[in-house]
Structure 1
Amino acid sequence: MKIENLTNAEMQAIIQTLVNMIDIGIHVVNKDGKTIIYNKKMADIEEMDPNNVHGKNILELFKFNNETESTLISALRGNATKKSKQTYFTHNGQEITTINDTCPLYDSTQQICGAIEVAKDITNLERIIRDNILKKGDTKFTFDHIIGKSIKIAEVIEASKRATRTSSSILIVGETGTGKELFAQSIHNGSKRSSYPFISQNCAALPESLIEGILFGTKKGAFTGSIERPGLFEQAEGGTLLLDEINSLDPTLQAKLLRALQEKTIRRVGDTKDKKIDVRVIATINEDPIDAIANGHLRKDLFYRLSVVSLFIPPLRERKDDTQILAQSFLKKFNYLFDMNVKSISKHVLALFEAYDWPGNVRELEHIIEGAMNLMEPEEVIIDVPHLPISFKQKATEFVDLAVYDENQFYEKDKEESKELLTLEDYMTNREKEYLEKILKEHDYNISQTAKTLQISRQSLQYRLRKFKLK
């Protein structure tokens, strides 16, 4: 059938089908501003029922500060726009932000007969940017950014929120990649100091010869080439100073830091006068503080001074209940950054995540999701095992083979001696339960000894016993 032989109704049906297949918002109005085309994507963006939009003037449906802010109204006056950001409100008060390409439509007499708009939704991205701009300095994280529902992480969040009420020093203990700075920024932003600076310094990133001057400042003429320069303590006045990897500081500098904390004064390098400071210090350490003291990495007196409030961030292997929700959050993040539309993560991948030991913690999980999305084809919408980085698959396979899963095929005999193909998730669940039963029996069901052998906490073990209904 030739296109010229199609009826108007058939042509309209084809056009409507085409515009609904496009993954970008399309809105077309006639010369009176009434909607004649409104595709499915546009309806999703604005959460509007197309039946309530067709035939109505856009100014009846949406609220703008003034008419000129409507790019469609502007197009009806002959003004085309390219990549124009527009913020407006639906009839139910929902705020929408889009990037629009809009242009007028002309009839055969070159008179404007309508306008068409192609819109890309950036509502969530705009909200994230706006929220970050409202934060002073480089602090962008709040407690709302801490993702997890496990008991362990919930306890740390609650303790951190209580710590926002005072100005006491805080020591945050956690392995690399557990999110220590996220907690530090959240505490700062939740405290009365949130309107003052948040200064962060990794103590392992600077040579010992420079870090004293960076921390406490320098006096002009103190040494060749020295200038009058405030240190991090002075720059953070009234706010918070985060000292990351405090165990990397030279013991002599640790003694000077201890004095600054006790006396609430600092002295610039080369100066003879002390300067009063009002700064809250949050320090982080990536090893057990007791081990750090025993190995000479951390002064005992500094530890006692810093650990007025101590927060222990659990590694991801001890809060595996949060693995799925963390993975989904990173999926959303990289969908925005990469302009992708990946919908979900397969059960097989989630089962591998559950089995894996996560030596790199939450940061490693984030990098794996990012790497997987880089390997996906444009039409793929589910992260599956082939998309995972090769290095992760090798490590995960080694972990599964060594720890629990000594069979080469995912099969289990049923009562009739037949073989039934199991999902990877079901297989791993069965093997984990069997392994827990085995270790429990070896230790006469002693919870502490079993947890020690499995290298997990008692709380994590007790959760698994309840999960598998083991006594």
Structure 2
Amino acid sequence: MSNKNFTSDHLKDKLFDKILKEIDIGIHAVNQDGKTIIYNKKMAEIEGMKFEDVLDKDLLDVFSFHQNEHSTLLKALTKGETIINEKQTYFNNRGQEITTINNTFPIIEEGLRIGAIEIARDVTKLEKLIRENMNKKSDTRYTFDSIIGSSHEIKDVIEASKRATRTNSSILIIGETGTGKELFAQSIHNGSTRSTRPYISQNCAALPDNLIEGLLFGTKKGAFTGAIERPGLFEQAEGGTLLLDEINSLNPALQAKLLRSIQEKTVRRIGDTKDRKIDVRIIATINEDPIDAISGGRLRKDLYYRLSVVSLFIPPLRDRKKDIPDLVQIFIEKYNQLFGMMVKEVDEKVQNSFYQYEWPGNVRELEHVIEGAMNLIDYEETITYSHLPIHFRNKPQFKADTKDQPISIESRNDIKPLDQYLEEIESNYLQKVLTFHSYNITQAAKSLGMSRQNLQYRLKKYELKEMRKRVDHRSTNRKGHD
């Protein structure tokens, strides 16, 4: 330990600086001339400012206020008023809007006002989110006619969804990301007797818990610092439909409150003691197996049973590949209109690659591939393998259909380093051999003339994760039968 002695005043200064830097509220102080003398790190973050732009500057030279509105800090300085829990909206020197809840105090010594200090909490994000949701108009352009596909997998879900339009029961839509869950939710709303009433959609994963609760249930004036009387999304959706996307992202306490509202058909605003009756149909979505979500603590079992009065399972694209040609044509037509192009089709090689691919991103991923390809087309009418986005052409499943084709080198871009080309061929060949042997790694290694360890190493080297999973799954099953 150092023997250096620090004075009490020096220690106080160090502690004061440390508190200003680390405290999670904004602190801003001005002297008797209205110039900034204290401005901490959190205040700079709230206002999006640099210290040098504010310190030692006149407050009104840095910030501006709406007409007929004034700085709470200057009000405390000029009038000697103590201001508690007052909301203030103003602009920084770049014109960005800031909203804070302030506690502001004059500094008085010997009867003279020698400065003022403001303690501020940031509610900019909350104000913006609530304003956007209040002003958001219902965008329900999708109907059942918008759902593309002739496979029996998708037709079964469409029929079940149409039957669900006749009732007001809660619905749980289960499907991987990109399968079109909101498309089904909008179609159900538009096909029901609630179609003339509001349709409100909220992604539960998009907001932190402290914001989503107030947004859903509303707030009572004075419930917390700066809270005003405001209806939540349940009340805004009165008579219509409320879609809660990714319901498994809500914390258990919020899920319990949601369950109560659904069961009792009432909501209680934050800070209120009064229950308000609601007439809202709830549609929730989840992007994983509900049983996995329950066992993992991400979904309450009682909420699951309440929501899944009607359960709709949207099949992933890999389970409805029959629909790929129809989907491709729809996306081509969409981007023809947007880009002013005349593309007619994809060629057979691309079509075969689409059938072989597993589509982890589902229909959304297919659309992005078509959009990307059409960005690389000049005046052609057919999408070919060379038009596919480069990151897609490098996927093993897409290479599979092209490895056995004659090598065509038409430009410098077609030439790859020899090592890279040989690795691609080896990777593709390993996949074919493993598939032939039904993922039995011992038989595959024997037919390749190598050890099991060597084959395992190569699967890892080429990042053939799906192949390794299938090999591991087969080994586990075989042990189970032994």
Q: TM-score range by the shorter chain?
A: 0.5 to 0.7
Aligned twin of 1:349? 350
1:345 CA drift (Å):
1.2
Q: Distance in 2 between matches of 1:231 and 1:407?
A: 55
Aligned amino acid, residue 384 of structure 1: T
Kindly tell me: are residues 438 and 277 of structure 1, through their superposed partners in 2, closer, same or farther at Cα, counting changes over 3 Å? same
- Equivalent in the alignment of 2:459: none
CA deviations over 1:392-446 (Å, ceiling 9, x no partner): 1112xx1367xxx5994249xxxxxxxxxxxxxxxxxxxx99998864999xxxx
After superposition, where does 1:52-201 map in structure 2 within 5 Å? 137-201=138-202
TM-score, L = length of structure 2: 0.56
The aligned residue for residue 309 of structure 1 is 310
Shift of 1:137: 2.0
Q: Which residue is equivalent to 2:253?
A: 252
Distance 1:311 1:438 in 2: 36
Distance 1:200 1:454 in 2: 42
Supply the distance in 2 between the matched residues of 1:183 and 1:173 (Cα, whole angstroms).
11
- CA deviation map 1:282-334 (0-9, x unaligned): 00000000000000000000000000000000000010111111011000011
Match of 1:209 in 2: 210
CA spacing shift, 1:338–1:266, aligned 2, 3 Å: same
Match of 1:392 in 2: 392
Task: Provide structure 2 residue ranges, at least 5 long, that are not aligned to the other structure.
Answer: 1-136, 407-430, 442-468, 473-482
Structure 1 residue identity aligned to 2:397: F
- Pair 1:303–1:176, CA change in 2 (3 A): same
Structure 2 counterpart SS, 1:281 = strand
- The letter of the residue matching 1:409 is D
For residue 333 of structure 1, give the secondary structure of its aligned residue in structure 2.
helix
Q: How many pairs does the alignment contain?
A: 286
Residue 334 (str. 1) matches residue 335 (str. 2): yes
Amino acid at match of 1:305: R
Identity of aligned residues (%): 68
Structure 2 Cα separation of the partners of residues 436 and 160 of structure 1: 38
State the Cα deviation string for residues 68-125 of structure 1 (Å, max 9, x = none).
Answer: xxxxxxxxxxxxxxxxxxxxxxxxxxxxxxxxxxxxxxxxxxxxxxxxxxxxxxxxxx
Which residue is equivalent to 1:375? 376
The AA in structure 2 aligned to 1:389 is P
Q: Classify 1:138/1:400 alpha carbon distance in 2 versus 1 (closer, same or farther; 3 Å).
A: closer
TM-score (norm 1): 0.57
Give, in whole Å, the separation in 1 of the partners of 2:402 and 2:434.
13
Relative to 1, partners in 2 of residues 1:261 and 1:433: Cα closer, same or farther, differing over 3 Å?
same
RMSD: 2.7
- 1:389 deviates by 0.4
How far, CA to CA, are the matches of 1:364 and 1:320 in structure 2? 13
Give matches, 1:426-465, under 5 Å.
Answer: 439=438
CA distance in 1, matches of 2:223, 2:146: 44
Q: After superposition, where does 1:280-291 map in structure 2 within 5 Å?
A: 280-291=281-292
Which residue is equivalent to 2:366?
A: 365
| Unaligned ranges ≥5, structure 1 | 1-135, 412-431, 443-451, 456-471
Gap change, CA 1:247 and 1:189, over 3 Å in 2: same
2: CA distance, partners of 1:373 / 1:435: 35
Structure 1 counterpart of 2:394, one-letter code: Q
Partner-residue secondary structure (3-state), 2:138: coil
Task: Give the deviation of 1:277 after TM superposition.
Answer: 0.2
1: distance between equivalents of 2:271 and 2:324?
Answer: 51
Question: Does the CA-based 8 Å contact 2:171-2:308 persist in structure 1?
Answer: yes
Q: Say which SS state the counterpart of residue 177 (structure 1) adopts.
A: coil
Seen in structure 2, the aligned counterparts of structure 1 residues 293 and 143 have a Cα distance that, compared at 3 Å, is same
Matched residues in 2 for 1:434 and 1:158: separation?
41
